[in-house]
């Protein structure tokens, strides 16, 4: 991950929540590790509510420092990291201010990275303003989600940005693709002969992908109420994880080889007939409840949320892939806020043995399963049956455990750190290509449209539970259940 390339990293939205919690801490960790960032590399923060660099450094010390280094801050490394930071005060609504940025970047060697940690409504104006002062050459642009509200608006943004930046300059970020277990999923599948023969419909009964959060909408009520869980999580994170799980082996790990295979999965998703949406998609909204002993309010009473809102905070959907490898295997995707636990995981349930002389437990589907935990602790567990000690042939579930923090002594790289280094070094494999994004929007649009026209309220669920009962009923129709229900 080392680079000798000089760079200038320009951070739009330099005082925003994403910059505070993720981007600047990730850049600090790369700096602290040594050798990952060129010594000449600079970070230029852009904002309009800060007077000058001194005031911005004070802001970074107050708001960013608490989010870095779980094991404490290295004060020497922190001081030298702050030396990398410069500041330009710009009103993003005034294109003429971008001459100030052009002057600040004049004469700098190396690549320019423009990270747009702003609302999507600013993506096109920022790109056009950059082009107006000649800053779109020898540069890369990073676009945060959500990229549009639907296929039409996503295409409009991509068309406008594509007039200014070539596709190979555009980095559409999905931080789940940078997580260590997702990378290890690729290594597990394509680096070992053990799993590949089993990674198909003959041996896999079903696959679950869950991203669950304990938190509510926090201070994002106004944004979230116009977005919802399907747009916020399913269209991007969950479908990207699905494409990684289900993709064919690429001929190499170069960016287009990997993304070509992901695209084939997204294009093979079975279209959902609007008449079947009630059978294969569940939407819910949390009501008041209790999480870890603390009472939490209903979604409709959160700040910024309309009291009569029909926005979903939970989605569970059954997905099918129409190709030879996965035909007939259901993929169950689930995401929600104010659920019972914070967890992101992929569960591969293998089929039961066709005949067993060892008893009924060996014939149970899911007795063999692979659980890839993305958060909070990053692990890969392979479950199988073994004989319990003692008299008789009694079987119990045991697991082989790869816990990265115990097996590898060196610290794991956080997702944003890996992805930011990939941008600086020009590696596109872990970023979403436009055609992938279009295929994902095209698949979710029938659900969006049906929910909008039906105008039915989401199914209620109490905060601190695992969502509406209908999500469990959907799996029960296929003779299975969510992992936590079995445990």
Feature table: binding site: 48, 91-92, 145, 175, 179, 213, 232, 337
CA–CA separation, 209 vs 238, rounded Å? 7
Return the bridge partners of 45, or none: 11, 87
CA–CA separation, 330 vs 475, rounded Å? 9
Q: CB atoms < 10 A from the CB of 436, how many?
A: 23
Q: Please report, for the chain, how many H helices and E strands are present, in that order.
A: 18, 17
CA–CA separation, 161 vs 165, rounded Å? 6
CA–CA separation, 74 vs 87, rounded Å? 23
Which residue, among 425, 240, 399, has the nearest Cα to 335 in the 3D structure? 240
Sheet strands (E) in 73-223? 85-89, 111-116, 139-143, 170-172, 204-212
Asked whether the beta carbons of 178 and 172 are under 8 A apart, the reply is no
Read off the tokens for 240: 């990207």
CA–CA separation, 280 vs 290, rounded Å? 29
Asked whether the beta carbons of 143 and 173 are under 8 A apart, the reply is yes
**Dihedral-angle region of residue 366 (phi above 0 means left; psi in -120 to 50 means alpha; beta otherwise):** left
CA distances from 443 to 235, 252, 483 (A): 8, 27, 26
Q: Reduced to 3 states, what is the DSSP secondary structure of residue 185?
A: helix
Read off the tokens for 296: 């939490």
The label of the residue with tokens 């790990």 reads 253
Q: Which of 31, 63, 237, 478 is catalytic?
A: 237
Asked whether the beta carbons of 249 and 195 are under 8 A apart, the reply is no
Asked whether the beta carbons of 18 and 144 are under 8 A apart, the reply is yes
> Does residue 237 have an active-site annotation?
yes
Phi first, then psi, for residue 321 (nearest 5°) are -115, 120
DSSP state for residue 351 in the 8-state scheme:
P
- Beta strand pairing call for 314-319 and 331-336: antiparallel
Feature table: binding site for substrate: 175, 179, 213, 232, 337
Feature table: binding site for NADP(+): 48, 91-92, 145
CA–CA separation, 385 vs 381, rounded Å? 13
Sheet strands (E) in 154-259? 170-172, 204-212
Annotated catalytic residues are 237
């Amino acid at each position: 991950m080392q680079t000798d390339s000089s760079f200038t990293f320009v951070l739009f939205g330099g005082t925003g929540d994403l910059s505070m919690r993720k981007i600047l801490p990730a850049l600090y960790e790369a700096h602290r590790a040594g050798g990952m960032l060129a010594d000449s590399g600079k970070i230029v923060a852009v904002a309009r509510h800060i007077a000058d660099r001194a005031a911005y450094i004070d802001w970074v010390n107050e708001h960013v420092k608490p989010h870095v280094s779980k094991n404490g801050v290295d004060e020497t490394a922190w001081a030298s990291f702050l030396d990398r930071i410069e500041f330009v005060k710009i009103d993003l609504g005034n294109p003429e201010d971008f001459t100030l940025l052009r002057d600040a970047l004049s004469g700098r060697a190396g690549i320019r990275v423009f990270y747009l940690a702003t609302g999507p409504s600013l993506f096109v104006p920022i790109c056009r303003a950059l082009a107006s002062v000649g800053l779109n050459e020898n540069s890369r642009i990073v676009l945060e989600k959500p990229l549009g509200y639907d296929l039409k608006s996503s295409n409009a943004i991509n068309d406008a940005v594509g007039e200014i930046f070539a596709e190979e300059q555009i980095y559409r970020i999905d931080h789940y693709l940078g997580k260590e277990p997702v990378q290890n999923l690729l290594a597990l599948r394509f680096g070992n002969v053990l799993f590949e023969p089993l990674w198909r419909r003959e041996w896999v009964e079903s696959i679950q992908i869950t991203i669950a959060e304990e938190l509510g909408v926090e201070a994002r009520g106004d944004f979230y109420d116009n977005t919802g869980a399907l747009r916020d999580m399913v269209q991007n994170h969950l479908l990207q994880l699905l494409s990684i799980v289900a993709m064919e082996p690429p001929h190499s790990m170069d960016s287009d080889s990997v993304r070509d295979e992901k695209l084939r999965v997204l294009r093979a998703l079975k279209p959902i007939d609007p008449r079947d949406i009630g059978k294969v998609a569940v939407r819910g909204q949390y009501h008041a409840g209790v999480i870890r002993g603390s009472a939490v309010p209903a979604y409709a009473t959160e700040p910024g949320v309309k009291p009569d809102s029909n926005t979903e905070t939970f989605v569970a959907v059954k997905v099918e892939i129409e190709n030879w490898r996965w035909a007939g295997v259901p993929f169950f995707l689930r995401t929600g806020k104010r659920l019972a636990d914070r967890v992101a995981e992929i569960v591969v349930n293998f089929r039961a043995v066709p005949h067993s002389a060892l008893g009924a437990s060996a014939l149970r589907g899911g007795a063999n399963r692979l659980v890839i935990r993305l958060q909070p602790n990053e692990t890969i567990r392979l479950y199988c049956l073994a004989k319990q000690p003692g008299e008789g042939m009694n079987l119990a579930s045991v697991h082989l455990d790869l816990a990265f923090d115990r097996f590898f002594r060196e610290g794991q790289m956080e997702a944003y750190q890996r992805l930011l280094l990939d941008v600086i070094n020009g590696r596109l494999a872990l970023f979403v290509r436009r055609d992938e994004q279009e295929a994902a929007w095209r698949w979710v649009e029938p659900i969006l449209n049906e929910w909008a026209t039906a105008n039915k309220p989401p199914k209620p669920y109490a905060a601190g539970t695992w969502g509406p009962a209908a999500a469990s009923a959907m799996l029960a129709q296929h003779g299975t259940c969510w992992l936590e229900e079995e445990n």
